[in-house]
Homo-oligomer: A and B are copies of this chain.
Amino acid sequence: MYCGSGGQTGQYQFDRLTRTGATTVGRLDQPAWRAAEEAATVIDKSSGVPAYRQVATAIRAKIDSGEYAPGTPIPSERVLVDQYGVSRPTIRDAIALLRQEGALIAEHGRGVFVRPRTTVVRLSRSRLSREARSANRGAFLGDATAGGFTPSTTMKVRFDPADERTAELLGIDAGEEVTVRDRVMRADGLAVMIAVSRLPRSVTRGTAIEVVDTGPGGAYARLEESGHRLDHFEEIVSARMPTPEEASILQPSSGVPVIRVTRVAYAADRAVEVNDMTMAGDRYELIYHIPAD
């Protein structure tokens, strides 16, 4: 089910959108190496360095030098077999290594491409302030038009017993009922963020937080209306490789980690929300502002 523009708030702000590269992938670009018909880099089998690593190093050098340009295909595996004089599995090992590093992207039936520089979205935390929260109509949907992409959001609400971690973060007993707001944010149809928000049911009962559309100002506004004036937020940031489930939703290029942010919102005397956000690591940067005193 989809929710309208009123349902979002207190999310990250699209503070600035940086397009660090705008290369179209493949089909139109002429790879530079096709003109050059270059000599193969020689693989030294007695050097002790595995052949597939030597091949990877050679390809990496050509990417760095610009001979293989972002967005263009590298020679096919069978061509590389001839160029380097090793078997196809060895070539594939080299490519696998570079894919793991995030330098190459394989597309079945099309070719292997130098990863195009991606559009990086910078999320600033400065606008989590009360004024900013009330002023804008919801971070994700609000700034989307400015960023030039079409936003959409899938939202589900359910009620679950709190697991151990949630209970600890919220300062409640495990098993106590929590309201779970499960969200997938998309830009131009592509999932860019998963956000799972959990609040004690004792806090949300009788408020619009228990339905999909929380109304203007979003969940945080409803919290403050119902007597839970927000005092501060805490964010825990970590990074890891995506689980298969996350990978199926976010579809990150292979070799790209996810950034995990757990935000805990505190009212004066208690934690009122824990929000677990997962985003593709190559599409986001988080910006934090820290006063010197």
Q: Do the beta carbons of A292 and B238 come within 8 Å of each other?
A: no
Residue A233, interface by CB 8 Å: yes
Given contacts A241-B101, A241-B257, A257-B239, contact A232 B292 (CB under 8 A): yes
Most buried by B among A244, A290, A293: A290
Q: Do the beta carbons of A292 and B240 come within 8 Å of each other?
A: no
Q: Which of A23-31, A121-129, A180-188, A196-204 contacts B (4 or more CB under 8 A)?
A: A121-129
Which residue in B233, B235, B240 is a CB contact (below 8 Å) of A282?
A: B240
Which residue in B100, B128, B229, B287 is a CB contact (below 8 Å) of A234?
A: B287
Question: Please, could you name 28 A-B residue pairs with CB atoms under 8 Å apart, sorted by A?
Answer: A100-B100, A100-B241, A101-B243, A102-B240, A102-B241, A122-B236, A125-B290, A128-B292, A129-B291, A130-B292, A130-B293, A131-B293, A231-B291, A232-B290, A232-B292, A233-B292, A234-B290, A235-B290, A236-B285, A236-B286, A236-B287, A237-B259, A238-B259, A239-B257, A239-B281, A240-B256, A240-B281, A241-B256
Q: Do the beta carbons of A237 and B292 come within 8 Å of each other?
A: no
Instruction: Report chain B residues within 8 Å CB of A234.
Output: 287-290
Q: Which A residues, 202 to 235, have Cβ-Cβ distances below 8 Å to chain B?
A: 229-235
Residue A71, interface by CB 8 Å: no
Instruction: Report chain B residues within 8 Å CB of A256.
Output: 240-241
Q: Do the beta carbons of A288 and B238 come within 8 Å of each other?
A: no
User: Quick one: copies of this chain in the complex?
Assistant: 2
Instruction: Report chain B residues within 8 Å CB of A236.
Output: 122, 285-287
Instruction: Report chain B residues within 8 Å CB of A293.
Output: 129-131
A233 to B, closest residue via Cβ: B290
Q: Give CA–CA (A285, B102) in the complex, Å.
A: 23
Q: Which A residues, 70 to 121, have Cβ-Cβ distances below 8 Å to chain B?
A: 89, 96, 100-102
A 237-252 binary contact with B (CB < 8 Å = 1; else 0): 1111111100000000
Given contacts A239-B281, A241-B102, contact A129 B255 (CB under 8 A): no
Q: Do the beta carbons of A292 and B122 come within 8 Å of each other?
A: no
Q: Give CA–CA (A232, B126) in the complex, Å.
A: 13
Instruction: Report chain B residues within 8 Å CB of A244.
Output: 101
Instruction: Report chain B residues within 8 Å CB of A290.
Output: 125, 128, 232-235, 288
Instruction: Report chain B residues within 8 Å CB of A131.
Output: 293
- Shortest Cβ gap from A52 to chain B (Å): 13
> Known pairs A234-B288, A236-B286. 18 more at Cβ < 8 A?
A100-B241, A102-B240, A102-B241, A129-B291, A131-B293, A234-B289, A235-B288, A235-B290, A236-B287, A237-B285, A237-B287, A237-B288, A238-B284, A238-B285, A239-B239, A241-B257, A257-B257, A257-B281
